[in-house]
């Protein structure tokens, strides 16, 4: 038994002995190395490690959770947590935790990532490649992540996993207002494409040179995976049953209904090799591939045990962190690795068969007027390329997509064969594997 698993088991024993009816202990040891660079040079090299235990306890339906960072006193703090839970108000919506003993599909850890001592080489490779493709200013980040996790639960699950990944983000400028952005994210060091990523960012920046103010009106949009990752961020949140319950989802009351065009099949697949692969959810249920939208029809929300009980269904093994995280609520079920299934188009064909459109590299600041209706806008950034009669005719700037997200999903009419894993900042997050898509007739607006 690993030391982490042993710690989880001991803390679970403390919780049980202290009177918890249900308890989950998740012990994590995560290390991150990061290089931040801009203007072609390294700005800062950062490293941090956190060893901590997230403990959830329930006494009847009185629930309480804690992120215990002081591991020297984790046993005492776990005991205190149960005492506090006994005195806590009831959580009437609590529906229990995952029960059973499960087998898990562990990931294949790439030890070369864990052993990486100087991650600056791919950074310099990316910078050089971007510059050789026309960039005059290059910036971004390289992350090297390594996490060990062990989980023990009174429901039966006992699990451990270890993952490592690298992700590189490159933004290149060829002029003050001409930029391109590309990323490479992978759990295999050998698959990190530093040069290609830098080259792609530089190439896009070069194509974006001398942009003119974009026009308002209806356009067909060809969206790169990075752009789509920004939209997927909000879609993933809205697929959470908890978000549905509190009015923060456009998918409420739409199970079995057409929410996207037939071209769109949206799954959560934490099983595939990716930077967000995980063997079990935060209740210890083995993760699985869940089809959320099939041929445009909404099949399910993502659930943990409690939301599943409230929705009279079964958990989809998407239990989220048991304590709140930045921008996510405690116990919010979440997709771990969204995937839009590939279609049968070549990316080039999508552009060639677009009459009046825009090819969009990236976006940010996706904001909703009302999550229940899906009215939103998002601001394309980096290369915005105008398409006329199947050809890219030049770059544009200063535009905004102002439309409705259900309309966007229902207007997808082409999906590429090729997909790419994208993960960038808090915009294209969680990590997702996405194709290039075309969306017909979206509204473009701009400042006046």
Partner 1 sequence: MIHEDVAEIVLGLAMEKASPVLAEVRVESSSRRELAVKSGQVSSLTSSKDAGMNVRIVLPTGIGFAAANRVSTSEGADLVRRALKLAKSGKRKDRVEMSSEPAVKTSWEVRQRKPLADLSTEDRLKFLADIDSSVMKSGVKVQGRYYELSDYETTSYFANSEGSRIKSFLPRVVLNASLLVSSKGETEQSLREYGASGGWEKAEEWNLEKALTDEVKMLKKMIDHGKALKPGKYDLVCGPEVAGIAAHESCGHPMEGDRILGREMSQAGKSFVQPDMLGQRIGSEYATVIDDPTVSGSYGYYAYDAEGVRARPRYLYKNGILNEFLHNRETASRLGLHSNGSSRSERYVREPIVRMANTFVAPGDFEEDEIFGSVKEGVLMKSFTEWNIDDKRYNQKYVSREAYFIKDGELAGPARKCVLEITTPGFWGAIDATSKKVEYDSAECGKGDPIQAAPVFTGGPMLRLRGVNLK
How far from 111 is each of 144, 193, 273, 279, 394, CA to CA, in Å?
A: 12, 18, 15, 18, 45
How far from 43 is each of 36, 46, 138, 171, 186, CA to CA, in Å?
A: 6, 10, 12, 15, 24
Measured from the CB of residue 387, what is the shortest distance to partner 1 in angstroms?
21
- What residues contact 246, with CB distance under 8 A and at least 6 apart? none
Give all strands (DSSP E) within 81-229, no chain letters.
Answer: 137-153, 158-175, 178-186, 212-213, 217-223
* CA–CA dist 53, 60 (Å, integer): 22
DSSP 8-state assignment for residue 401 = E
Are 386 and 241 in contact by the 8 Å Cβ rule? The answer is: no
* CA–CA dist 405, 361 (Å, integer): 18
Measured from the CB of residue 402, what is the shortest distance to partner 1 in angstroms?
8
Measured from the CB of residue 200, what is the shortest distance to partner 1 in angstroms?
14
Measured from the CB of residue 37, what is the shortest distance to partner 1 in angstroms?
8
Measured from the CB of residue 399, what is the shortest distance to partner 1 in angstroms?
8
* CA–CA dist 217, 179 (Å, integer): 24
Exposed, middle or buried by CB within 10 Å (0-12, 13-18, 19+), for 85?
A: buried
In the complex with partner 1, which residue's Cβ is closer, 366 or 432? 366
In the complex with partner 1, which residue's Cβ is closer, 240 or 290? 240
Two structure tokens written together for 241 = 């049953």
Measured from the CB of residue 386, what is the shortest distance to partner 1 in angstroms?
18
Measured from the CB of residue 111, what is the shortest distance to partner 1 in angstroms?
20
CB atoms near residue 188 (< 10 Å): 14
DSSP result, 117-136: --THHHHHHHHHHHHHTT-S
Measured from the CB of residue 308, what is the shortest distance to partner 1 in angstroms?
15
Q: In 3D, which of 439, 315, 445 has the Cα closest to residue 380?
A: 445
In the complex with partner 1, which residue's Cβ is closer, 70 or 344? 70
DSSP 8-state assignment for residue 223 = E
In the complex with partner 1, which residue's Cβ is closer, 190 or 326? 326
Measured from the CB of residue 160, what is the shortest distance to partner 1 in angstroms?
20
Exposed, middle or buried by CB within 10 Å (0-12, 13-18, 19+), for 326?
A: exposed
């Amino acid at each position: 038994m690993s030391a982490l698993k042993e710690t989880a088991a001991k803390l679970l024993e403390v919780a049980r002995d202290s009177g918890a009816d249900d308890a989950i202990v998740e012990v994590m040891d995560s290390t991150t190395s990061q290089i931040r660079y801009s203007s072609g040079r390294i700005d800062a090299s950062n490293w941090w490690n956190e060893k901590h235990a997230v403990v959830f306890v329930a006494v009847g339906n009185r629930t309480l959770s804690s992120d215990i960072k002081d591991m020297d006193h984790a046993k005492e703090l776990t005991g205190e947590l149960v005492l506090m839970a006994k005195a806590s108000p009831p959580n009437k919506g609590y529906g229990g935790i995952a029960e059973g003993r499960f087998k898990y599909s562990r990931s294949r850890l790439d030890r070369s990532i864990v052993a990486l001592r100087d991650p600056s080489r791919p950074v310099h490779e990316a910078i050089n490649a971007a510059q050789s493709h026309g960039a005059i200013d290059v910036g971004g980040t390289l992350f090297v992540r390594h996490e060990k996790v062990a989980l023990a639960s009174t429901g039966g699950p006992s699990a451990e996993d270890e993952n490592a990944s690298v992700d590189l983000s490159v933004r290149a400028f060829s002029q003050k207002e001409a930029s391109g952005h590309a990323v490479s994210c992978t759990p295999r060091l050998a698959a990190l494409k530093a040069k290609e990523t830098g080259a792609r960012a530089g190439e896009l920046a070069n194509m974006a040179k001398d942009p003119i103010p974009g026009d308002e009106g209806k356009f067909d949009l060809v969206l790169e995976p990075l752009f789509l990752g920004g939209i997927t961020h909000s879609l993933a949140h809205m697929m959470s049953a908890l978000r549905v319950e509190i009015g923060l989802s456009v998918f409420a009351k739409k199970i079995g209904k057409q929410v996207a065009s037939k071209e769109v099949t949206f799954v959560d697949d934490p099983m595939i090799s990716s930077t967000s692969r995980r063997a079990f959810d935060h209740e210890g249920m083995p993760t699985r591939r869940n089809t959320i939208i099939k041929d445009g029809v909404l099949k399910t929300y993502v659930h943990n045990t409690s939301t599943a009980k409230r929705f009279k269904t079964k958990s989809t093994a998407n239990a989220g962190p048991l304590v709140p995280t930045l921008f996510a609520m405690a116990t919010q079920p979440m997709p771990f690795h969204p995937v839009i299934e590939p279609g049968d188009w070549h990316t080039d064909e999508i552009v060639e068969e677009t009459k009046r459109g825009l090819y969009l590299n990236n976006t940010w600041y996706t904001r909703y007027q009302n999550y229940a209706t899906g009215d939103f806008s998002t601001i394309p950034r980096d290369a915005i390329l105008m398409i006329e009669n199947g050809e890219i005719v030049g770059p544009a700037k200063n535009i905004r997509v102002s439309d409705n997200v259900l309309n966007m999903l229902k207007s997808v009419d082409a999906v590429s064969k090729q997909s790419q894993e994208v993960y960038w900042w808090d915009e294209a997050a969680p990590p997702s594997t996405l194709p290039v898509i075309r969306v017909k007739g979206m509204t473009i607006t701009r400042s006046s």
